Structure 1
Amino acid sequence: MTYYQESKDASVWTVAQLNRRVSQLLDEHMPVVWVKGEISNFTQAASGHWYFSIKDDKAAVRAVMFRGRAQSVGFVPRAGERFEFRCSVTLYEPRGDFQVQVEGMRRAGQGDLHEAFLRLKNQLQAEGLFDPQRRRPIAPLPACVGVITSLAAAALRDVLTAMARRAPHVRVVIYPAPVQGADAPVRLCQALETAIARAEVDTLLLVRGGGSLEDLWSFNDEALARAVAASPIPVISGVGHETDFTMVDFVADLRAPTPTAAAELACQARADLLDQLGARMGAIRHGMQRHLERASLRLDRAVAMLVSPGQRIAQQQQRLDGLTHRLQRLAGTVPERSQQRLETLVFRLQRNLPQVQPHRQSVDALLRRLQQAGGQGLVLRRQRLQAAQQTLQALSPRLIVNRGYAIVRNAQGQVVQNALDLNIGERLDVELRRGSVSVDVVRAHDLL
């Protein structure tokens, strides 16, 4: 037996150190690669992560696809299906397991289709065809529902069974078209145009059973997606299974996970409608009963207040007799009272008449005194006015100007009294005996 002996300075790695070093080497030197193989041992964890193996006829490797990446795939793969995986090579250090982390996947041989699907999806989304605001509401109580699918499709039987069970009162119109094949998109568009032109249904169901990506590819056609988005009739898509997504699912007014679910979403169950109708009829009966009870009470009160015509006439006759008696009694007493009141008023008037003659003499004397006082006052006021006029004329600046003086005013019309208040270049108005002149200040000085 041969033993290998190292020097004392040689290091010994732990298993953890070894796995960490191998993991670092893979991260640093192994690029992201595409791997083609078949899925086996597929498991979808509660966390949303996918765990499976990728194998071919000679080897297998463990793989993991985390939830964020898995949600962008748009479908759930099944064991035995072949795909192309975009992945990075890693080492799970706790167990030393060699594995790959899948970042994206496409069906083997159908990578171009998947990329075309993503390109069209991004284009239509950028144009606003996926906007929830543009979706039309589904008719809550349709009278007729249209179904666009193949006559031989199992999806049609599922829809008809669900409609017969759930809403047998709703009429169903079928617009047949192939759901698979080269001419399927064109035929589906023609069926949709026929339904729109006939305008006989309240809701359209575009349905098909499950299948592979290539089986469902007709429902990823751009012309069909645009026709569904532009349809004036609300469209419910029910293509494939719950995990399958096609372009019409994104542009339809409502997406159902299966054809049967599409039929259930198109109309309310007959039993539910009957329950609602029964509840409303019960409310109406209760309301009518309450109304009749209140009306009966009002009728009873009205009957209690009702008086027979004979009794009403007797009451009115009695009242008329009383009024007639009062009128006759008042007719004899009113003239006598009026005469007495008139005599009293005449006596009071004569007693209160004024004596005019004594007052007339007094008025004449006052009038003479007023005339004498007025003449004297007028003479005095005329003399005072003349004295004031003489004083005003003596103080008038016009007399001073007539003697050779002048009145100087500034631009504001104020009389200038101090030369030192003026500014050089200021405009002044000078009033003379005859006329006025405008001058500019050239120099100002004090004479004191």
Structure 2
Amino acid sequence: MSSLAKVAEARSSPVLTVSQLNRTVREMLEGGLPVLWVAGEISNLTIAASGHCYFSLKDATAQVRCVMFRQRAALLPFRPKEGLQVEVRAVTTLYEARGDFQLGVETIRLAGLGALYEAFERLKSKLSAEGLFDAARKRQMPAMPRTIGIVTSPAAAALRDVLTTMRRRNPAVQIVIYPTQVQGDAAPAQIVAALSTANRRAEVDLLIVCRGGGSIEDLWAFNDEAVARAIAGSLIPVISGVGHETDFTIADFVADVRAPTPTAAAELASPSRADLRFQLDGLAMRLRREWSRQWMLRSQRLDFAARRLLHPGERIARQRRMMEDLARRLQMASSRQLERRRAALTLVSGRYRHVRPDAVNLRRHLQGLASRLRTAANAGLQRRLGALEVLSSQLQALNPDAVLSRGYARVETARGELIKQAATLHRGQSIRLHFADGSAAAAVTSAPGPQGELDI
């Protein structure tokens, strides 16, 4: 009554207006009582056009008026109806305009579900702390499963929806059903046994655990800890398709993939044959384009290589022309060498005529030398022509050291300079003679004579 006393004290008269009284009572109710959970049966339910809900909450001996405004009513997972046993979370208040005591309802849950919600949250927190909900442990779904296992009741409507969807999307996928109850006290143990059987047989690539929608009691088997651990420990990837889109169970959190409905689980598990055909057509088109591009590229490279490639006949003709040119050059070199030797022979013959007056013998001797020279020159020419044919394949026809193998020697100074005339030498000079099989050092012991002869 302290609030009333304050009001009376604030005014000089102890008499209050109705508005003042109702306001004071409302403040006392709202400030003196905490937010409460109140259980009862819904009656006199009215849902206004504005979306606000007005109803009475009653038990066997009493009732209280309740109001739930549109914003909070829209968040309810179910639609309130007459006779429904519920538990409301509300603030005690007073409607000042009529002086009606009422509850301002914040949320409503079905009666008896409070303990279930608390158990659900406890198990959820426990398993989450153990890491069973972590995305890192979730396994990738097989892109092309050949066999899919379904853990559900054979009589469930959800099974028919799943089979219809999978038959429509990809009838080639094989189905293995692991029958189990999905509701009731015996359901958790049977679900665990079905998951164990599927893992032991290892005959499917993917498992779907599913059932249709229902109340939280109907779906409670999928909030069982043993079921959750069996799904988390499955060696086969698991899709959870339990209830409707707004329903969440512990199985949804531990499964590798959560589907909002059993039908959605079937769509996630089975690849669409139409989609696969579309993808295959796209890949085939890309393959044809790539093959065409590669074919054009290879054709261009082949044409480019063909332009650079010489016909074997043309290559042989080029080599034949090169060998003929080499033969002409060799013949011309041999002719020039023969002319030089003839000139040298004539010079020597003239010198001999001056030194030896026996012209007849000298002429006879010269004729013999000339004959021998021609014979030797012809023989040398024939040898060179023969060697040219051999060297045409070995590309060594012009090896200058080959001359040394026929008994000639190359004379060089000690510094490696070639000596062409005897007149350039002097007594005591060091020289080096190069033969076909090696070289030797020598020294000039006499000055060159009138005919260019010298001793070494």
Normalized against structure 1, the TM-score is what? 0.65
CA contact (8 A) 1:106 1:114 kept: no
- Cα distance in 2, alignment partners of residues 130 and 334 from structure 1: 103
- 1:61 is aligned to 2:61: no
Equivalences for residues 46-85 of structure 1 within 5 A: 53=55, 55-56=57-58, 59=63, 61-64=65-68, 75-76=77-78, 78-80=80-82, 81-85=84-88
1:345 to partner: Cα distance: 9.0
Q: SS of 1:342's equivalent? A: coil
1:28 to 28, 31, 34: 31
* 1:412-433: CA deviation from partner (whole Å, max 9, x where unpaired): xxxxxxxxxxxxxxxxxxxxxx
1:107 to 94, 106, 110: 110
- Cα distance in 1, alignment partners of residues 228 and 191 from structure 2: 10
1:188 to 180, 188, 191: 191
Return 189-198 or 269-278, whichever deviates more: 269-278
* 1:174-195: CA deviation from partner (whole Å, max 9, x where unpaired): 1111111221111111110111
Q: Which residue of structure 2 lines up, in the alignment, with residue 431 of structure 1?
A: none
CA contact (8 A) 2:206 2:237 kept: yes
- Cα distance in 2, alignment partners of residues 161 and 70 from structure 1: 34
Q: SS of 2:235's equivalent? A: coil
How many equivalent pairs are there? 341
Q: Which residue of structure 2 lines up, in the alignment, with residue 342 of structure 1?
A: 419
Q: SS of 1:55's equivalent? A: strand
- 1:143 is aligned to 2:146: yes
1:12 to partner: Cα distance: 6.8
1:134 to partner: Cα distance: 1.8
1:271 to partner: Cα distance: 1.3
Return 246-255 or 336-345, whichever deviates more: 336-345
2:204 to 201, 206, 209: 201
- 1:128 is aligned to 2:131: yes
Q: Which residue of structure 1 lines up, in the alignment, with residue 230 of structure 2?
A: 227
- Cα distance in 2, alignment partners of residues 315 and 234 from structure 1: 74
1:347 to partner: Cα distance: 2.6
- Cα distance in 2, alignment partners of residues 281 and 174 from structure 1: 36
Kindly tell me: are residues 344 and 66 of structure 1, through their superposed partners in 2, closer, same or farther at Cα, counting changes over 3 Å?
A: farther
1:23 to partner: Cα distance: 3.0
Q: SS of 2:246's equivalent? A: coil
1:263 to 259, 263, 266: 266
Kindly tell me: are residues 100 and 9 of structure 1, through their superposed partners in 2, closer, same or farther at Cα, counting changes over 3 Å?
A: closer
Kindly tell me: are residues 97 and 289 of structure 1, through their superposed partners in 2, closer, same or farther at Cα, counting changes over 3 Å?
A: farther
In structure 2, runs of 5+ residues without a counterpart are: 1-10, 342-409, 412-416, 431-456
- Cα distance in 2, alignment partners of residues 283 and 241 from structure 1: 41
CA contact (8 A) 2:180 2:191 kept: yes
1:156 to partner: Cα distance: 0.1
- Cα distance in 2, alignment partners of residues 144 and 42 from structure 1: 50
1:150 to partner: Cα distance: 0.4
Kindly tell me: are residues 306 and 32 of structure 1, through their superposed partners in 2, closer, same or farther at Cα, counting changes over 3 Å?
A: closer
Q: SS of 1:179's equivalent? A: coil
- Cα distance in 1, alignment partners of residues 106 and 168 from structure 2: 44
1:275 to partner: Cα distance: 1.0
In structure 1, runs of 5+ residues without a counterpart are: 1-6, 354-448
- Letter matched to residue 225 of structure 1: A
Q: SS of 1:290's equivalent? A: helix
Kindly tell me: are residues 42 and 199 of structure 1, through their superposed partners in 2, closer, same or farther at Cα, counting changes over 3 Å?
A: farther
1:63 to partner: Cα distance: 3.9
CA contact (8 A) 1:148 1:176 kept: yes
Kindly tell me: are residues 82 and 244 of structure 1, through their superposed partners in 2, closer, same or farther at Cα, counting changes over 3 Å?
A: farther
1:154 to partner: Cα distance: 0.1
- Cα distance in 2, alignment partners of residues 52 and 144 from structure 1: 53
CA contact (8 A) 2:181 2:187 kept: yes
- 1:210 is aligned to 2:287: no
Normalized against structure 2, the TM-score is what? 0.64
* 1:298-333: CA deviation from partner (whole Å, max 9, x where unpaired): 333344445443333222211111122223444566
- Cα distance in 2, alignment partners of residues 162 and 327 from structure 1: 94
Q: Which residue of structure 2 lines up, in the alignment, with residue 313 of structure 1?
A: 316
Kindly tell me: are residues 240 and 310 of structure 1, through their superposed partners in 2, closer, same or farther at Cα, counting changes over 3 Å?
A: closer
Kindly tell me: are residues 124 and 78 of structure 1, through their superposed partners in 2, closer, same or farther at Cα, counting changes over 3 Å?
A: farther
- C-alpha root-mean-square deviation of aligned residues, in Å? 4.0
Q: SS of 2:39's equivalent? A: strand
